[in-house]
Structure 1
């Protein structure tokens, strides 16, 4: 069984525009994303960068396009993300309350850049746990941003500020006689802030939410003891780039998880000379004038599962699929194969 995560970056700047582009059948980025998913053929894939709408119309259109391209996903799941949900407060300290950053998570409109699960196995929707409403201040051990010793940009914000910039879901999927829990998330980039490091601290705590969940530290939410996979876009590299890399390195060494260290020839070929990490593990292709290529997308099975293979869909230059991977998104699809019954 192949499980994947993929930040498609398909999100558009206005509601309904992604649906329009999917239905047109002519959008080059949409076509490239479809090619990547069809080529890798995951049985379950967590998508990021998918605009959410009521009734899941856009997600259904994408699933229909995938079916016509040869990849059927009869089971779909999505919840309204925190992105774009306005609070009427100033979140980033610029003195305004109407910007895209003045929302529970960055977004020009509610639902921009959401998440979705496509699956060939039934999703047990009645057992889904949605942690997206957890206040940042309520995470055990949370570290909130401060400037000159006071909460930034003001204490009133943290009475309503959720931790999840997009979402944190525990989605149970029925695989034969077993239930596999998908611990899905998409964290904020740890940049675009000031010396208070608001986004850096939030990014780290979005990752730490899963550690606290597995610890049993979230009230009323006993964790799955086995048979789970943490997956999504953590926006954090364990060795390079901005952000609190030590948190990612610590998470990867958690004995309750295993890191299949998925690799690609394309990542190795696009290495950044100044980076410390193994470039074959990189999953995102940013401008070298910025962060460069980083490992930020993860599929991390629980220690009791048996990994049969793993990879990053980033073919080497000139290899089949290379151009599609680059045209689809700056992120690459990451996949892990789990052995049957393991």
Structure 2
């Protein structure tokens, strides 16, 4: 009988907790689940550099280019350890296929983790970071990972930027793609100077039970898209800018749109991850701004169950009514400020009448926007005279800088809110924040070793890409852990009753 009671107790515990992961992580009911997104700038300038950097955690220093890159990765890991998310999306994380730096249009199976994602876990996240001034951190372990493929740096076969060099030669900053010739950079399906640059990866303490990727979804197949239904006139109309063959081939996602379905306390939650293109680096035709708008619109349509959507496996349809989801990523769009495709706002948090790229999500009734992540560091940075001076971009903004998530050039566009964690309306938000500490000494050059030195001021010398970690900040939202619906509980109790009946029969036979 003791054995029977113990078996029944184990069955009850497993049923109520949703079981355990393959890696043995306890998934017993937790009152809070922290979702986070971080454009961590773990992209590198050349093929294979990220793999090399993450293989050499001890090489961090401030005296060499390689050492600065490795130190930047350590700072990113420390920020993640301090935020301590349960589920995390990292944008700008170069893709590799089992250690070979590359990318393709082939969807990665559930459970695929790039070698770089594994190295970042074992050599950085699993190792304490920090220093004597701000204190050391504890390792953070994620039992599950998923690294999707990416469109960045993939040859499209077309000269998508239609760039013709002037007679005097090439201007400074010309993309890697040869002007007038199909290649990398602007001519790839998603901007990248080599295949896989600027990819993304997902870390989770909860089991990943299913993935749907939409890397190959064609832009033209979105009804009323801005590619074939552009309201602009003349040469700025994208139907004029792109050839019919280019329109037929263009993919919507500049990286990928991926639905990573998690099992949390026995309940499925869809982690909707993406990184739409920046709405800049184009011409008067605003091809990137219009694409950014439609990349954001994709998730709006998806959570509303749009039937036109098809994934990389050829399955059609969006989410079912009542599904729980969290949208996350660097969406490169501010509701009122910056260059995204929109009508100018007249008041904070109030989009103007007409199109608004991120407003498509922030005004959707299915999405919970009751709490906006914020930081005191964002407020301070908007007027910091030592950041990069000027502050004209920030002073002209409509939105409150406490909601900013990215430290951009203060002259233009200024700091913006572009990184989002947006739960569905049927998930309760308990807390939220942006990892942007206040600078205790704005004139010290970010060398004191305090907490602020993990994010730093914009474009400082002696650092990789001018920042200790990234121009974007980690954004997190705590939600109340979902619980099974009443009918699920009923089925679970029925199942437990059957288990108990079977165990009692077995015990009687043993007697």
Distance 2:143 2:81 in 1: 15
Which of 197, 208, 212 is the aligned partner of 1:123? 208
Unmatched segments (≥5 aa) in structure 2: 1-32, 61-69, 99-113, 129-138, 164-179, 309-315, 343-355, 383-393, 442-449, 457-467, 484-511
Q: Does 1:11 align with 2:43?
A: yes
Q: Does 1:228 align with 2:325?
A: yes
Distance 2:374 2:247 in 1: 39
> Does the 8 Å contact 1:232/1:298 carry over to 2?
yes
Q: Does 1:170 align with 2:266?
A: no
Distance 1:23 1:261 in 2: 37
Cα deviations by residue, 1:117-163 (Å, 9 ceiling, x for unpaired): 00111111xx2111121101111221116753543131211111100
Q: Secondary structure at the match of 2:329?
A: strand
Offset, 1:247: 2.7
Offset, 1:24: 1.7
Distance 1:73 1:268 in 2: 32
> In the alignment, which residue of structure 2 is the partner of 1:338?
479
Q: With structure 2 as the length reference, what TM-score do the two structures score?
A: 0.65
Cα deviations by residue, 1:258-279 (Å, 9 ceiling, x for unpaired): 1220000100111221111010
> In the alignment, which residue of structure 2 is the partner of 1:306?
428
Q: Secondary structure at the match of 1:228?
A: strand
Which of 230, 234, 246 is the aligned partner of 1:157? 246
Distance 1:196 1:91 in 2: 13
Larger fraction in strand: 1
Which of 100, 106, 118 is the aligned partner of 2:191? 106
> In the alignment, which residue of structure 1 is the partner of 2:155?
86
Offset, 1:341: 2.8
Q: What is the alpha-carbon root mean square deviation over aligned residues?
A: 1.5
> Does the 8 Å contact 2:153/2:190 carry over to 1?
yes
> In the alignment, which residue of structure 2 is the partner of 1:283?
405
Offset, 1:253: 1.4
Distance 1:328 1:207 in 2: 26
Which of 363, 367, 373 is the aligned partner of 1:257? 367
- Higher gyration radius (CA): 2
> In the alignment, which residue of structure 2 is the partner of 1:329?
470
Unmatched segments (≥5 aa) in structure 1: none
User: May I ask how many residue pairs the two structures share in their alignment?
Assistant: 340
Offset, 1:191: 0.6
Moved more, 141-150 or 196-205: 141-150
> Does the 8 Å contact 1:67/1:73 carry over to 2?
no
Offset, 1:59: 0.8
Offset, 1:67: 1.1
Structure 1 residue ranges (4+ consecutive) displaced by more than 3 angstroms after TM superposition: none
Distance 2:75 2:46 in 1: 21
> In the alignment, which residue of structure 2 is the partner of 1:63?
121
Q: With structure 1 as the length reference, what TM-score do the two structures score?
A: 0.96
Distance 1:250 1:54 in 2: 34
Distance 2:120 2:266 in 1: 29
Distance 1:170 1:140 in 2: 21
Distance 1:243 1:250 in 2: 12
Cα deviations by residue, 1:203-246 (Å, 9 ceiling, x for unpaired): 00000001111232243123143210111011000010111242
Offset, 1:92: 1.0
Distance 1:98 1:132 in 2: 19
